[in-house]
Amino acid sequence: MEKFKVLIINPGSTSTKLAIYENEEVIMEVSIEHDQDKIRSYERIADQYDFRKEVILQALKEKGINLEELDAVSARGGLLKPISGGTYSVNESMLEDLKVGVLGEHASNLGGLIANEIAQQYDIPAYIVDPVVVDELLPIARVSGHPKFDRDSIFHALNQKAMARKAATELSSSYEELDLIVAHLGGGISIGAHHQGKVIDVNNALDGEGPFSPERSGTLPVGALAKLCFSGDYELVDVKKMIVGEGGLMAYCGTTDSRKIEEMIDDGDEEAKKYYEAMAYQVAKEIGAAATVLKGNVDAIVLTGGIAYSELFTGIIKDRVSFIAPIDIYPGENELKALAQGALRVLKGEEEAKKYS
In whole angstroms, the minimum distance from the beta carbon of 205 to ligand BUA comes to 4
Residues 313 and 185: beta-carbon distance below 8 Å: yes
Question: Hey, how many other C-beta atoms are within 10 angstroms of the C-beta on 99?
Answer: 14
Number of residue whose CB is nearest ligand BUA: 188
Residue 205 in contact with ligand BUA, rule: CB under 6 A: yes
CA–centroid distance for 21 within its chain: 21
Binding residue for ligand ATP (CB under 6 A) from 136, 152, 209, 333?
333
Contact letters (x/-) for ligand ATP, 227-256, by CB under 6 A?
-----------------------------x
Considering the rule CB under 6 A, would residue 288 count as an interface residue with ligand ATP?
Answer: no
Closer Cβ to ligand ATP, 4 or 281, answer by number:
281
Q: Which does 164 bind (CB under 5 to 8 A by kind): ligand ATP, ligand BUA, none?
A: none
Q: Does 188 bind ligand BUA (CB under 6 A)?
A: yes
Stretch that binds ligand BUA, among 123-131, 149-157, 168-176, 248-256 (CB under 6 A): 149-157
* Among positions 44, 259, 274, 348, the unique one binding ligand ATP when judged by CB under 6 A: 259
How does strand 25-33 pair with strand 15-22? antiparallel
Q: What angle do CA 136, 149, 92 make, to 5 degrees?
A: 55
Among 78, 86, 111, 187, the residue binding ligand ATP under the rule CB under 6 A is 187
Toward ligand BUA, which CB reaches closer, 88 or 344?
88
180: nearest Cα among 192, 166, 171: 192
State which amino acid sits at residue 182. V
Which phi and psi angles does 333 have, rounded to 5°?
Answer: -135, 155
Q: Which stretch binds ligand ATP (CB under 6 A): 77-85, 109-117, 184-192, 349-357?
A: 184-192
Single out the segment in contact with ligand BUA by CB under 6 A; choices: 151-159, 166-174, 274-282, 344-352.
151-159
Which of 17, 34, 76, 156 lies at the binding interface for ligand BUA (CB under 6 A)?
156
Residues 137-176 touching ligand ATP, rule: CB under 6 A, are: 156
Q: State the Cα–Cα distance between residues 215 and 224, nearest whole angstrom.
A: 20
DSSP 45-58: GGGGHHHHHHHHHH
Q: With binding defined as CB under 6 A, does residue 155 bind ligand BUA?
A: yes
Q: Which of 23/334 has CB closer to ligand BUA? A: 334
Q: How far is the CB of 172 from ligand ATP (least distance, A)?
A: 28
Binding ligand BUA (rule: CB under 6 A), the pick from 126, 134, 154, 261 is 154
Restricting to residues 294-333, name those near ligand BUA by CB under 6 A. none
Indicate the residue type of 59: A
Which residue type occupies 145?
Answer: G
User: Which runs of E-coded beta strand occur in the chain?
Assistant: 5-11, 15-22, 25-33, 72-75, 87-89, 126-129, 179-185, 189-195, 198-202, 300-305, 327-331, 354-355
Q: Residue 92, exposed/middle/buried by CB under 10 A (0-12, 13-18, 19+)?
A: exposed
Decide whether 178 or 253 has the Cβ nearer to ligand ATP. Answer: 253
Smaller CB distance to ligand ATP: residue 69 or 311? 311
What are the C-alpha distances in Å from 232 to residues 108, 173, 217, 223, 251?
34, 55, 21, 16, 21
The stretches of 72-130 forming alpha helices (DSSP H) are 92-100, 109-122
Q: ∠ at Cα 128 (126, 134), nearest 5°? A: 160
CB nearer ligand BUA, residue 185 or residue 280: 185
Counts of helices then strands in the chain (DSSP H, E): 12, 12
Is residue 130 at the binding interface for ligand ATP, with CB under 6 A as the rule?
no
Interface residues toward ligand BUA, by CB under 6 A: 132, 154-156, 188, 190, 205-206
Interface residues toward ligand ATP, by CB under 6 A: 156, 186-188, 214, 256-259, 305-307, 309-310, 333
